[in-house]
Chains A and B, each alone.
Chain A
Amino acid sequence: MALTILAVDDSRTMRDMLSFALKGAGFDVSVAEDGVHGLEVLPDVCPDVIITDMNMPRMDGLGFIKGVRSDNSFRAIPILVLTTESGAELKAKAREAGATGWIVKPFDKDKLVAAIRRIAA
């Protein structure tokens, strides 16, 4: 059975790009526009892996990760941060919030797929 990925990014371009890349690799992909939307769709999507941007309106990536980790039903889901930023301080905050891994945009499709397979059943 295909793994389900929830991609959370406020950029439609990035959502389309992730959908295209990950569907092509055999994953089921759902998308959300920001952290609030991501938490809303989480119970319906029940993803195996979450990929999230950091800079988003309404609720940023840190808030979203904390929201996922605070919900007992979803706290064990691996979360990859996908962002243009690579600052050590922000990485540390993301890790503290519960991020599983960190990938810098623009991303390599094959390496992203390999990273997903490394953290998901």
Chain B
Amino acid sequence: MDPMEEIKQTFFIECEDLLEELNDGLTAMSDGSADAETVNAVFRAAHSIKGGAGAFALDDLVRFAHKFETTLDEVRQERLEVNADLMSVFLRSGDMLADLVHSSRDGVDIDAVAVDELIAELEAFCGSDDAAGGETEEKTDFQPMALDLDLDLDLGLGEEEEPSPPSLNAFNILFRPRKELYANGNETSFLLRALTDLGTVTSKCDFSNVPLLDELDPEGACLEWRITVTTEFDEAQVREVFDFVESD
């Protein structure tokens, strides 16, 4: 069997366990015996189903699970109180989630109107334009990845200071890491190496801020680099090398 198809079958088997966990939790919430961990477990079950479904581009399942998860999160964060109306919607949502899992597994259609109506009922409790809703708009199928690109590190990029062949860009970069960069497991030499994958790199390390040994903080950051990258790639792609150290 195709390995991805095999993993997809594993996903549907895992869904059965998650649905059971979810239903047990909803039953406890319904009879008033649930504690915070019960609500967490119900939330995680819906969350895990959504996560796996996204990997296989099961978009209808992702869409419903996301709305269900979002409403559960409101309860989890104590922004929404459980009452009989909400429990009625939750219990029917548990059933709908199971139906969507099974229809996705068996490749059969489900009543889209009924799904939309229940989503509207969930939205009555959690709103229709929650911040995380954008996730469902992403293309799925093991493809997209969102990376942090909004740099605010001290990274001065100056473009095309020197003449270059028409198809090449030259970027001057001032790279001045703070100590948090090292504390979070990043390593400047790896970032410099990644730049070399983009084109020709010259760099000069400035040691002038390195104190005498008895004043040196071994976990501090006192080096900075002046780097020139000559590359066919654009500024966004150069910045992407630094995307994990945006605030470091």
A111→B184 contact, CB < 8 A = no
Cα distance A69–B186 in the bound complex, in angstroms: 13
Known: A118-B191, A118-B194, A121-B190. A102 touches B183 (CB 8 A): no
User: Which among B7, B183, B190 is the interface contact of A98 at CB below 8 angstroms?
Assistant: B183
Answer yes or no: A28 CB below 8 A from chain B CBs: no
Residues 81-111 of A contacting B (Cβ, < 8 Å): 84-87, 91, 95, 98-109, 111
Contacts of A107 in B (CB 8 A): 142, 144-145
A105→B55 contact, CB < 8 A = yes
A108→B143 contact, CB < 8 A = yes
Chain B's nearest CB lies how many Å from the CB of A91?
Answer: 7
Answer yes or no: B235 CB below 8 A from chain A CBs: no
Contacts of B40 in A (CB 8 A): 57
A104→B146 contact, CB < 8 A = yes
User: Which among A95, A106, A115 is the interface contact of B143 at CB below 8 angstroms?
Assistant: A106
Answer yes or no: A41 CB below 8 A from chain B CBs: no
Chain B's nearest CB lies how many Å from the CB of A102?
Answer: 6
Chain B's nearest CB lies how many Å from the CB of A76?
Answer: 6
Chain A's nearest CB lies how many Å from the CB of B223?
Answer: 17
User: Which among A56, A84, A98, A101 is the interface contact of B243 at CB below 8 angstroms?
Assistant: A101
Contact mask B38-64 → A, CB, 8 Å, 1/0? 001101100110111011000000000
A84→B190 contact, CB < 8 A = no
B14→A12 contact, CB < 8 A = yes
Known: A84-B51, A86-B146. A13 touches B14 (CB 8 A): yes
Chain B's nearest CB lies how many Å from the CB of A46?
Answer: 14
A78→B186 contact, CB < 8 A = yes
Q: How many residues of B contact A (CB 8 A)?
A: 45
- Tell me what chain B mostly uses at the interface: helix, strand, loop, or mixed: helix
Contact mask A48-81 → B, CB, 8 Å, 1/0? 0000000111000000000001000000111100
Instruction: Please report the number of residue pairs spanning A and B whose Cβ atoms sit closer than 8 angstroms.
Output: 123
B185→A98 contact, CB < 8 A = yes
Contacts of A109 in B (CB 8 A): 142
Chain B's nearest CB lies how many Å from the CB of A65?
Answer: 9
B44→A16 contact, CB < 8 A = no
Please give the residue numbers on chain A whose beta carbons come within 8 Å of chain B beta carbons, in ascending order.
Answer: 10-14, 16-17, 20, 55-57, 69, 76-79, 84-87, 91, 95, 98-109, 111-112, 115, 117-121
Q: What 3 pairs across the A-B complex have the smallest Cβ distances?
A: A101-B244, A78-B185, A104-B146
Pairs A–B under 8 Å by Cβ, sample size 25: A13-B11, A13-B48, A14-B52, A20-B3, A55-B48, A57-B40, A77-B185, A78-B187, A84-B47, A84-B50, A85-B132, A86-B132, A95-B180, A95-B247, A98-B185, A100-B185, A103-B145, A105-B51, A105-B55, A106-B143, A111-B145, A118-B190, A118-B191, A119-B186, A119-B190
Please give the residue numbers on chain B whose beta carbons come within 8 Å of chain A beta carbons, in ascending order.
Answer: 3-4, 7, 10-11, 14, 40-41, 43-44, 47-48, 50-52, 54-55, 131-132, 134-135, 138, 140-148, 180, 182-187, 190-191, 194, 241, 243-244, 247
